[in-house]
């Protein structure tokens, strides 16, 4: 009989590049491939350890002298909307939600381009063409959904969320929305509606990506109650976001080899690191 052992995941590190969140800082990512029969188990496991998915790659910030980026999630059972969030839900009662398989459409791309041109014209995704957009939506080896929000009266597509379904929650990979409806706070509404979906399906968490204390781009995440962040190898409740500051101490990050050694993999041999 022939026996096979699980293949150990190999981790790599990107070259440093300018940080999009904090001025005068450099970012670096630790990443591994997401593929094969064990893709969903690996995604579930590493998402609980602060990793995020981008197509068929899982990554986590691993900057040489900074640990400001904190993976964030909301505890669905403890979440309570604020007064302004309740008003946001009320303002968007005229929207219809539709969840589909991860398939890109022209309507999605048109909305995506309007969103980028208005909100992130100088960002890293500003030059993304229709083929790259389709890859972002469709290249997923795990259970993913596109959640569309349309105006009931006009049928106009006004918001889209690309969402992964984990074994313990919903992971919001990327979202975009109509920039000409600022009063509707569509970005906030997408998160609130995902909290509702998670509650209805019995999933305990909604993963938001990274929160960076002190970064205006990420400040909205701190406005949700029951927020938790992954710090020091554990998830911690955020009681007062104002007490968190960006940790930019040059010794705040463990060496890469130590980080990889501390990653827990599902049913595999110890992870290996490639420099």
User: Exposure string (b/e) for 147-185, b if CB count within 10 Å is 16 or more?
Assistant: bbbbbeeeeebbbbbbbbbbeebbbbbebbbbeeeeebb
**Tens digits of per-residue pLDDT, 177-231?**
999 999 999 999 999 999 999 999 999 999 999 999 888 777 889 999 999 999 9
Structure pTM? 0.90
Q: CB–CB of 50/71 below 8 Å? A: yes
pLDDT higher than 90, residue 232: no
Q: Which fold has domain 73-243?
A: Aminopeptidase (3.40.630)
**Tens digits of per-residue pLDDT, 80-130?**
999 999 999 999 999 999 999 999 999 999 999 999 988 765 666 767 899
Question: Which residue intervals of the chain bear CATH 3.40.630.30?
Answer: 73-243
| DSSP assignment string, 212-275 | -TT-GGGGGGGGSSSEEEEETTEEEE-S-GGG------TTSS--HHHHHHT---TT-SPPEE--
């Amino acid at each position: 009989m022939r026996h096979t052992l699980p293949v150990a995941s190999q981790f790599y590190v990107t070259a440093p590049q300018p940080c999009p969140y904090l001025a005068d800082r450099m970012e670096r990512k630790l990443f591994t491939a997401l593929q094969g029969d064990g893709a969903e188990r690996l995604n579930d496991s590493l998402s609980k350890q602060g990793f995020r998915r981008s197509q068929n790659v899982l990554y986590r910030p691993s900057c040489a002298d900074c640990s400001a980026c904190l993976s964030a999630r909301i505890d669905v059972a403890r979440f309570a909307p604020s007064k302004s969030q309740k008003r946001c839900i009320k303002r968007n009662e005229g929207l219809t939600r539709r969840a589909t398989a991860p398939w890109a459409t022209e309507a999605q791309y048109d909305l995506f381009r309007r969103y980028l041109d208005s909100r992130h014209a100088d960002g890293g995704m500003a030059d993304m063409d229709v083929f790259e957009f389709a890859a972002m939506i469709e290249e997923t080896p795990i259970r993913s959904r596109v959640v569309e929000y349309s105006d009931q009266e006009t049928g106009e597509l006004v918001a889209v969320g690309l969402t992964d379904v984990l074994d313990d929650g919903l992971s919001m990979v990327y979202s975009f929305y109509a920039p000409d409806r600022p009063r509707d706070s569509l970005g906030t509404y997408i998160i609130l509606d995902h909290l509702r979906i998670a509650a209805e399906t019995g999933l305990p968490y909604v993963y938001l990506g990274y929160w960076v204390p002190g970064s205006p781009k990420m400040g909205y995440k701190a406005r949700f109650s029951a927020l938790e962040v992954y710090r020091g190898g554990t998830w911690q409740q955020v009681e007062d976001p104002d007490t968190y500051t960006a940790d930019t101490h040059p010794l705040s990050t463990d060496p890469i080899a130590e980080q990889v050694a501390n990653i827990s993999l599902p049913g595999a041999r110890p992870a290996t690191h490639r420099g």
